[in-house]
Structure 1
């Protein structure tokens, strides 16, 4: 027994003798940590397990859509008063039928007079340029405006002054509304006839050549154009401002002095919706427009 105690004490003394103070400190720390870890392990084993609560979603009540605001009563309250549609009063244009003749160098080539004046038209030439005008349209090259159309004359407003332009070939004479009312009433039948002609041409464009005839004109074996003349009914011929003896030199931009052009025109006539004729008359060119 004494021998064993001596052996242990001797060994421990020998161990302490050879160990440095740092080694001793590390050894003590290691022993303490080991003891702590063992204690924690025993505690975890002996500690009762906590009960787990299952997660459940909470039902959210649906959000009711907000009720629409009723603004009908507000709209009907007429905060700014009741709106009333303002009807423009018709403007009456006074036409001086017996106006003095105009001094403008204009030529009234043709008229389409109607009992409904806004539908009336006038074909007026100025310096060789011929155009069709409706009421209140300014005559090209002047400041005059077409004001009224009658069967033998038109009234133009030239800088605020009413003036008369007589139909070409007619002499100026004073007139009254009473004497002009009868021709206008009679001319309504001409207007109806023109409407019927245009409807016929609209259905079958080639029918236009029944009302406006074209005959080739040559000079020194060269084609210089086509002489125009009225067909079975002169109403359309006269209404657009054509005159017998006019020589057509262009049709819808095509040169009629080219003999092959008329073949092209007849082949495409069913697709035409209008005719733009350029004619020569007394050495001057005039443009004639015929709409179907």
Structure 2
């Protein structure tokens, strides 16, 4: 370690410095140092104000939210994207009146057609040797075809993604459904074909007193109007075509024979005339039956055991 230089030598060195040049700078440095010390001393004499505690903005917002009581269930209750209708929109089904004739091995033997709404009708279809009653959207037994619409003279089936026409047995196929206007009550019926024997010789008709509808029959009539498919529970109607010529309609009781019996009918009765109009044309017969809904009485002429009988039924409410 080197010895400290002698103080005398230091003084000698300082004497050699040009003090006249350095002195102005030293004076400036001393002034600056004095000003800084004075300023610091002055700030120490001024009393310091009490510091105000600052509340973070985020904390205030959080407190406000907590006080408002907004909850997630309440938030999700707002209709941010609108409100859905409480009533489902009913799909409008097109009324298809043109479709190719089906090649399915089935037979349409009866219909209950409601032209105002073809999607509410029903049909009796024979498949694989047996008959069954089908409502719209039912699948026909033994096939992949679905019943979609019921018209007065045909039904429309949905088969392999396309509509096909199944004509009422005994009616020739046409592109446009015939005589649909004006039809559409439970009375619009045609049913299974009957190839029975010829009519017996026609004797003089036997007159009968009008049969008044009981209160129970009134109720059943209202039921038929509301639910046309129930007609087949009471009466089965079948065209009678010996040798291919329509001569009338066979009447048979359905599963519930009460209405059939109370109307004065018997199994195998053959209706040949209604209100003076012969039932020898299928389309005309359907129109006549449809008119009964507004008639006050129906005069039905039947053939029973070789005899012609008149059954008068009062239709007034």
Global fold match (TM > 0.5): no
User: Where on the TM-score scale, by shorter chain, does this alignment land: which range?
Assistant: 0.3 to 0.5
Normalised by the length of structure 2, the TM-score is: 0.38
Greater Rg by CA: 1
